[in-house]
Each structure stands twice: as C-alpha cells, then as structure tokens.
C-alpha cells in the first residue's frame, strides 16, 4: 500500500460511524451530521442550568471496573451520565488511537442495572466516538476514572485514564482524570466524593482553555483526609 493509499484508507475508516444495535460500521453516506464538540455554555450555578449537564464517563480499566461504576454513580445527582469505556483493560496504553480497522460499540448493562457502552479500542477511542457524534448530543464535561492506582509524575504519559481526559480537552470540552491509590481492596468512597466536588466546581466555575485536572486520591478513609493540595506534575523518583 502506498503512502497515498494508506492516507485514503485512514480517512475512509475515520469517516465511518457505528450502527448502534449491531456495532457494525455504516457507509460514509449514511452518517448523520456531526454535532458541535461541546456545548458552549457559560459556567454557572447548577441551579441556573436550564437542562441537566451531560457528562461522559470513561476509564482505562474497562467497562466492568468498580471504579468506573463508582464514578458514574457519584456524578448522576448532578447530570445525565453516559458511560463509554474500553471493552477490556487498557491500562498504560497512553494516547493510543485506532485507525486501520472499524471500532465495535456494544450496549452493556452495568452492575447497578444502568446502561453503558463498551468499545473494542482504547480510552481515547471511547472519547473520540462520543465527540464524533455517536450519541448525537454534545457534552459539558468528561470524567475519566476512577483508576486503580495513582497516576503521578512521568507515569501520566503512559496513562490511558489521563489520555482519555486529554482527548476531551483536545475536543474543547472540560475534563478531569481521577485515580485512587490502593492496597488490597480499594475503597472508592473518598474518590467518589472528590469526583462529585470536582465536577460541580468545573460546571459552576469552568476551567481555563486547555486546562486538564489530574486528581490522585490517597488510600484513606474520608475522615482521615487532610485536605486538598493543588500542585504541578513532578518527576518520578
């Protein structure tokens, strides 16, 4: 395949959308018009929103992750939550993106009975599909996590969790990634509370253009948390 042929094939595959029922690619001519990447709404108190915020939730640990479910449940009180995540564990894939094959999307029933969608690709693929118009709506916020294990220092360059949030920022949508330090049996209670607080603050106050929040939560009970510290990314020692 020549360079020109490869570019045409990549463009053809990128131009496909997915059939919602069968997970099959649609012909390019069948694709509906792409929605705007995100809603251009000014941050304001949630009580002043005329409709509930639309929140996309994803991760890199896979659609069956308890952390993903905990994140989705923590955000449902403040918005309409759409869960789209990789079909299998995609930890440490970074910003990997699928070009040379169709992506399959399947509707799933999550452990709490709610509906989610799995993608046989990377976390970045899951976010990309949402912004390419799979749901035919726009999103106000993307939350990625709750990851098993912290994402600190240089490790964020490998993180599928952080890369998923970064893909949302590239698409001009506010986003944050959240990760939970753990030992044997992770307790997501503190991380869930942090996710709820963070999402509320972003929706009400906004983020600077291009800004991405990477949140790491220690493995302690909520009552033992000593507060929140805002810092910059460091180096792994």
Residue range 27-76, pLDDT digits in tens: 333 444 445 555 545 788 998 998 999 999 999 999 999 999 999 999 99
pTM over 0.85: no
User: Nearest 5 degrees, angle CA 137-CA 143-CA 144?
Assistant: 120
- Find the CATH number of the domain harbouring 202: 3.40.1210.10
Tokens of 77: 């009180």
Q: 9 vs 116, which has greater pLDDT?
A: 116
The reply to whether 33 falls in a domain is no
Domain presence at residue 24: no
Domain with 191, as residue range(s), is: 53-221
Q: What is the pLDDT of residue 133?
A: 87
pLDDT of residue 97: 86
pLDDT band per the 50, 70, 90 thresholds, residue 20? very low
pLDDT digits (tens, 9 = 90+) for 113-165: 999 999 999 999 999 999 998 999 999 999 999 999 999 988 888 899 999 99
Number of Cβ atoms within 10 Å of the Cβ of 166: 24
Q: 210 or 236, which is more confident?
A: 210
Q: Is residue 46 part of a domain?
A: no
Tell me whether residue 171 is in a domain: yes
**Local structure of residue 53 (DSSP, 8 states):** P
Identify whether 17 is part of a domain: no
Q: Is 148 helix (H, G, I), strand (E, B) or coil?
A: strand
DSSP state of 234: -
Whether residue 182 is contained in a domain is answered as yes
Asked if the structure places residue 189 within a domain, the reply is: yes
Give domain status of residue 23, yes or no: no
97 touches 128 (CB < 8 A): yes
């Amino acid at each position: 395949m020549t360079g020109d042929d490869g570019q045409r094939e990549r463009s053809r595959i990128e131009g496909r959308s997915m059939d919602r029922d069968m997970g099959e690619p649609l012909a390019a001519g069948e694709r509906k018009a792409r929605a705007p990447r995100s809603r251009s709404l000014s941050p304001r108190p949630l009580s002043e929103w005329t409709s509930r915020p639309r929140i996309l939730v994803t991760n890199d640990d896979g659609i069956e992750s308890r952390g993903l479910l905990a994140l989705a449940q923590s955000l449902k009180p403040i918005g309409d939550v759409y869960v789209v995540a990789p079909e299998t564990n995609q930890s440490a894939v970074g910003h990997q993106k699928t070009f040379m094959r169709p992506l399959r999307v399947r509707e799933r029933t999550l452990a709490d009975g709610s509906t989610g969608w799995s993608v046989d690709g990377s976390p970045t693929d899951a976010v990309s599909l949402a912004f390419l118009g799979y749901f035919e709506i726009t999103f106000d916020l993307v939350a990625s996590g709750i990851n098993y294990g912290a994402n600190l220092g240089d490790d964020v360059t490998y993180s599928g969790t952080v890369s998923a949030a970064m893909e949302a920022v590239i698409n001009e949508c506010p986003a944050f990634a959240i990760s939970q330090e753990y030992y044997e049996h992770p307790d997501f209670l503190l991380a869930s509370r942090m996710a709820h607080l963070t999402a509320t603050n972003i929706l009400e106050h906004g983020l600077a253009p291009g800004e991405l929040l990477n949140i790491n939560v220690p493995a302690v009970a909520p009552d033992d948390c000593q507060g929140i510290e805002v810092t910059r990314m460091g180096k792994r020692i």
